[in-house]
Amino acid sequence: MTADALGTRPVGRLLWHTCSQTTLSVSAYGIYALTNAWFVARGVGTDAMAAVNLAAPILLVLGAVSTTVGAGGASLVSRRLGAGDPAGAARATGHAFLLFWTCAVVTTVAGLLALGPLLTALGAGPGSPTRGLTRDYAVVLLCGALVSTGFSSLIRAEGRLRFATLIWLIPIMVQIILDPLFIYGLDLGVRGAALGTVGGQAVSAGMSWWFFFVQCHRPYRVTARDLRPHGPTLRALLTVGAPSFLAGFGATVLAVLVNNVLAATVAGATALAAYAVCARIQTFAAMPQTGISQGLQPVVGYNAGLGRPDRVRRARTLALRATVGYSTIVAVIVAVGAGPLIAVFTDDPAVAPVARDALRIIAIGVACAGVTPLISAYFQSLGRATPAYLLSVGTLLVVKVPLVLAGSAAGVTGIWAGLAAGEVVSAVVALLVLRRVAGD
């Protein structure tokens, strides 16, 4: 599909095409997250599974950075292409790469130099039985930070959905092949799982470098000139993309908070292992929600640049209906099938019952989890940073964190309830903000 099709094809069919491609891409990653969890849980053990989840915030931070520059860059690219300015689109893409590479190097150096305090902050304190495993996993992730994104959002921004899908599918297939090879074949344990992840990411990064810097038959190609810092472009990219960073960083803070409050409960390591399994299942269930949000962005951004607010409103309405309908159905499936789903990953008599009960409660939040990121993505696509900031920061600080902390007073079950309630209340707030700000 060409960029022009974003402004000419019927909105319903266009949105179906973009969202189905993005959903396929991110769902493939969800499948990898599940297979990775299975290989670790079955091949290394439940302590290793807990360690992987404790180190996950490192990936979340890198993801927050890549999403920041990716979302900001994609919004600029789609609007510049819609306005007939390919040079502006090339500069936005070049600056997205420049910012990410800089942040990745800083993350690697700072993380390795302060590894001990970092592990403690993640919940793997000096006396923790998972500290050594968490260290092994974290070091590999930090060393691979430079290749941890393929910038599929920038590819989607110009309508190249097929390649944007391939840049997810091919690396994920590589990861699924490498995981058992490293974990079982080379007996590298949890370190092998991390190497499999980084190996797939390196393939994705290589594909994106070829696409943006080498391929010629596109609306633009990034050159060395586009990597030179340009103040207005940097400000625009960071202003629009910052809500994504805050959302991603907020997810990191929330994950660290949950890990720490779970570690402080009587259940301790058992609760951490249970949450690790539930988090992977929840991640997979949320993939189509992410796909719908990502599929909406190029449609909204391009048509906003084209001056077609009617198409923008139509896309927003259809995307909201799709995410609410899907989320409701999958939440019921997860709640009803909690037992069999947990059994796939662990049969540990201590972990399985805790994980099963947790998943049934968390499923309530799954029903609403797609609303807030979708509305935030909508505002970002329009270049309206303020309401996106409000949703990214406000729902975390005012809703999610307080509810988890309040729930922790009631023990493990209260923490699960706090997580679910946070998603429900955040969705209501997001809908109210949309109604007030959009005004149409």
Q: What is the pLDDT of residue 360?
A: 92
Over 70: is that where the pLDDT of 381 sits? yes
The residue type of 22 is T
pLDDT range class, residue 120, cuts 50, 70, 90:
confident
Q: What is the pTM of this model?
A: 0.62
Residue range 164-205, pLDDT digits in tens: 778 878 888 888 888 888 888 888 877 888 888 888 888 888
Mean pLDDT of 325-338: 90
Cα gap 35→399, rounded to integer Å: 32
Provide Rg for the chain, Cα atoms: 21
Q: Which of 28, 36, 37, 20 is nearest to 172 (CA)?
A: 28
Mean pLDDT of 75-100: 78
The larger pLDDT score, comparing residue 20 to residue 281, is at: 281
- Tokens 């996106």 belong to 388
Number of Cα atoms under 13 Å in the Cβ half of residue 343: 4
Q: What is the pLDDT of residue 439?
A: 56
What rounded mean pLDDT belongs to the chain? 79
Tokens at 148, concatenated: 């941890």
Q: What is the pLDDT of residue 361?
A: 92
Mean pLDDT of 58-67: 69
- Concatenated DSSP letters for 367-390? TTTTHHHHHHHHHHHTT-HHHHHI
Residue range 215-263, pLDDT digits in tens: 777 777 777 887 787 788 777 777 777 666 666 667 777 777 887 888 7
SS3 string, 157-195, reads CCCCHHHHHHHHHHHHHHHHHHHHHHHHHCCCHHHHHHH
Tokens at 41, concatenated: 């849980």
The larger pLDDT score, comparing residue 65 to residue 2, is at: 65
pLDDT range class, residue 157, cuts 50, 70, 90:
confident
Cα gap 108→113, rounded to integer Å: 9
Number of Cα atoms under 13 Å in the Cβ half of residue 33: 22
Over 80: is that where the pLDDT of 316 sits? yes
Q: Which of 175, 169, 181 is nearest to 197 (CA)?
A: 175
For 136-165, give one letter per residue: b (16+ CB within 10 A) or e: bbbbbbbebbbbbbbbbbbbbbbbbbebbb
- For the chain, percent of residues with pLDDT exceeding 90: 3
Mean pLDDT of 268-291: 81
